[in-house]
Amino acid sequence: MRVPLPAAMITTSNAVMFKSSLILRIIRHGCCLLGLSALALLSGCSTIQIAYNQADELAYWWLDGYVDLTDKQKPFVKDTLRHLHQWHRQSQLPEYVVFLQKLRALAPYDIQAEQACSVLQEVQSGFVGLVRHVEPEATQLVTQLSATQLNNVRKKYDKLNQEWRENYMDVSEEKRLRYRNKQLLSRLEDFYGSLDTPQKETVKQWISKSSFHPATSYEDRLRRQNDALQTFHRIIQTGASNAASQAMLRGWMDRSLLPPDETLQKYSQTLKQENCEGFAKLHNSTSRAQRERLAENLRSYETIFYNLSVKK
């Protein structure tokens, strides 16, 4: 499950692994709009509730911006997102409340890197569950895509890739580190409040010693995008049965989350381990007041998600 949690937003290098291609982005963005990590970056409880209650509409316009939906496709997509929204509200938000309660119970104490990784794994496992839930509808949409729409996706990828390169590749190492450090500090301070100078130095060291390599991450980004377009094209061209098409789509989704290449697998695992260690070290340096603020923030999200889950 995607939750508003520092450990789940450790650094952009992890987020990149989930932001690759069309349907995965549809699901993730839709689910984020349905109450989780994207909403955690918004300010104010009322903003989160308003955004969540409009999630299906926001996700629709986001998807339309990717593929330029046809008049024939629009009713199906709107209906699918509406049902996804209802299912998410009824079945997923209560789980988030329980999960946040567990995290809040841990907030006052020091943690080990293994605990941070366990939290992240639970987040990712929940995300896979969301993907599996919407898989039949996602497959049906893919079979309806035209060559023009696939080209629209490619153009969108190209635009996003240019933005990614501007932030991570076409800059000096100093600027890149400063950008990543600013992002991470912002996320952490959203939950703990202002960090003191030694804590900021801990974050700086965390980023500067990271194994994050822009060229490697970009290579995997392109791999996932190309894999997506090739898979979609193959499904459309072969006219496969629903079961066969869904199997192809599931294979692509699995490859998006776990690179087939062993070197990329090790790279991803290294980043994950470093981030778990970095977060644990930062959390263990926090004061009682900072941990109380973290616990209170988690409690606020519990209340928000509970109230949203019981809304008729």
Give pLDDT, residue 2: 41
Domain annotation covers residue 1 = no
Segment 245-289, tens digit of pLDDT? 999 999 998 998 889 999 999 999 999 999 999 999 999 999 999
pLDDT score, position 18: 31
223 domain-assigned: yes
Query: What residues of the chain score a pLDDT lower than 70?
Result: 1-46, 312
Give the per-residue pLDDT at 50. Answer: 83
* Cβ 13 vs Cβ 212: under 8 Å: yes
**Residue 303 backbone dihedrals phi, psi, to 5 degrees:** -65, -45
Q: How many domains does the chain have?
A: 1
Answer yes or no: are the C-beta atoms of 275 and 84 closer than 8 Å.
no
Any domain includes 74: yes
The pLDDT score that the predictor gives to residue 46 is: 61
Q: Are 77 and 65 in contact (CB under 8 A)?
A: no
CA angle 234, 235, 241 (to 5 degrees): 140
Give pLDDT, residue 47: 74
Looking at this protein, which amino acid is placed at residue 181?
N
Q: The domain containing residue 273 runs over which residues?
A: 6-307
Q: d(Cα 89, Cα 53) in Å, to the nearest integer?
A: 10
In a domain, 312, yes or no: no
| 3-state SS string for the chain | CCCCCHHHHCCHHHHHCCCCCHHHHHHHHHHHHCCCHHHHCCCCHHHHHHHHHCHHHHHHHHHHHHHCCCCCHHHHHHHHHHHHHHHHHHHHHHHHHHHHHHHHHHCCCCCCHHHHHHHHHHHHHHHHHHHHHHHHHHHHHHHHCCHHHHHHHHHHHHHHHHHHHHHHCCCCHHHHHHHHHHHHHHHHHHHHCCCCHHHHHHHHHHHHCCCCCHHHHHHHHHHHHHHHHHHHHHHHHHCCCHHHHHHHHHHHHHHHHCCCCHHHHHHHHHHHHHHHHHHHHHHHCCCHHHHHHHHHHHHHHHHHHHHHHHCC
| pLDDT confidence of residue 9 | 36
Place of tokens 């941070």: 116
Tracing tokens 């450090």 back to the chain, one arrives at: 181
Tokens (6 digits) for 251: 């294979």
- State the Cα–Cα distance between residues 72 and 69, nearest whole angstrom: 8
Assigned token pair, 170 = 């076409």
Beta-carbon neighbour count of residue 44 at 10 Å?
A: 8
Predicted TM-score (pTM) of this structure: 0.82
